[in-house]
Amino acid sequence: MSDPNATHAHANPAHCTTARGNRVRWLGVAMVALLATPCALVWAQQVNPDETGHEPVQTREALARAKPVTAKHAMVVSAQHLATLVGVDILKRGGNAVDAAVAVGFAEAVVHPCCGNIGGGGFMTIHLKDGRNLFLNFREKAPAKATPTMFQDADGNVVDGRSTDTYLGVGVPGTVMGFATALKAYGTMSLQEVIAPAIKLAREGYILKQGDVDSLDSRTSDFAEHANVAAIFLNHGKPFKVGERLVQKDLAHTLELIAKGGTKAFYEGSIAHTVVKASDANGGILSLQDFADYTAQWEKPIQCQYHGYTVVSAPPPSSGGTTLCLILQIIEPYPLAKWGYGSVNSVHYLVEAERRAFADRNTYLGDPAFVHNPIDRLLSDEHAAELRATILPDKATPSSEIKGSLGAPEGNHTTHYSVVDKDGNAVAVTYTINFLFGNKQIAGDTGFFLNDEMDDFTAKPGVANGAGLVQGVVNQVEPGKRPLSSMTPTIVLRQGKPFMLTGSPGSATIISSTLESFLNVVEFGMNMQQAVNAPRLHQQWYPDVVYAGEGLLTPKSQQTLEAMGYTFKRFSGGAVEAILINPETGVLEGANDPRRPAGLAAGY
Q: Report the alpha-carbon distance of residue 362 to residue 439 in Å, rounded.
A: 24
Which is closer to ligand GLY, CB of 51 or CB of 244? 51
Q: Which residues pair with 537 in a beta bridge?
A: 548
Contact between 485 and ligand GLY per CB under 6 A? yes
Considering beta carbons, is residue 181 or 485 the nearer one to ligand GLY?
485
Choose the stretch contacting ligand GLY; rule: CB under 6 A; options: 201-209, 288-296, 332-340, 482-490.
Answer: 482-490
Q: Are 10 and 18 in contact (CB under 8 A)?
A: no
Q: What is the dihedral of CA 25, 26, 30, 34, to 10 degrees?
A: -40
Total residues in contact with ligand GLY, by rule CB under 6 A:
8
- Contact call for residue 529 and ligand GLY (CB under 6 A): no
Check 175, 254, 390, 414 and give the catalytic one: 414
Q: Would you call 557 helix, strand, or coil by DSSP?
A: helix
- CB of residue 359 to ligand GLY, shortest distance in Å: 17
Tell me whether residue 430 is one of the annotated catalytic residues: no
Q: Find residue 71's DSSP bridge partners.
A: 588
Q: End-to-end CA distance of the chain, in Å?
A: 41
Check residue 507 for interaction with ligand GLY (CB under 6 A).
Answer: yes
Among 373, 432, 475, 530, binds ligand GLY (CB under 6 A): 432
> If binding is defined by CB under 6 A, does position 456 make contact with ligand GLY?
yes
Q: According to the binding rule CB under 6 A, does residue 414 interact with ligand GLY?
A: yes
Q: How far apart, in whole angstroms, are the C-alpha atoms of residue 603 and residue 601?
A: 7
Q: Which is nearer to ligand GLY, 187 or 411 (CB)?
A: 411
Rounded to the nearest angstrom, the gap between the alpha carbon of residue 422 and the centroid of all alpha carbons in its chain is 26
Which residue, 122 or 187, is less far from ligand GLY as judged by CB? 122
**Rounded CA gap, 594 and 152, in Å?**
40
Among 415, 439, 486, 512, binds ligand GLY (CB under 6 A): 486
Query: Does the footprint of ligand GLY cover residue 504 (CB under 6 A)?
Result: no
Give the range of 361-369, 480-488, 584-592, 595-603 binding ligand GLY by CB under 6 A: 480-488
- Eight-state DSSP code of residue 553: S
Q: Three-state SS for 394?
A: coil
Ramachandran angles phi, psi of 136, nearest 5°: -110, 125
Complex with ligand GLY: residue 86 or 118, whichever CB lies closer? 118
* DSSP output for 236-259: TTB---TT-EE--HHHHHHHHHHH
Q: Which stretch binds ligand GLY (CB under 6 A): 179-187, 264-272, 357-365, 483-491?
A: 483-491
- Are the CB atoms for 489 and 193 separated by under 8 Å? no
Spatial separation of the C-alpha atoms in residues 181 and 177, rounded to whole Å:
6
Tell me which of 487, 501, 598, 601 binds ligand GLY, using CB under 6 A.
Answer: 487
* Binding flag, residue 434, ligand GLY (CB under 6 A): yes
Question: Of 51 and 89, which CB lies nearer to ligand GLY in the complex structure?
Answer: 51
Strand order in the sheet with 537-538: 537-538, 546-548, 568-570
Q: Is 513 in the site for ligand GLY (CB under 6 A)?
A: no
Please report, as ranges, the residues that interact with ligand GLY according to CB under 6 A.
414, 432, 434, 456, 485-487, 507
Kindly list the catalytic residues.
Answer: 414
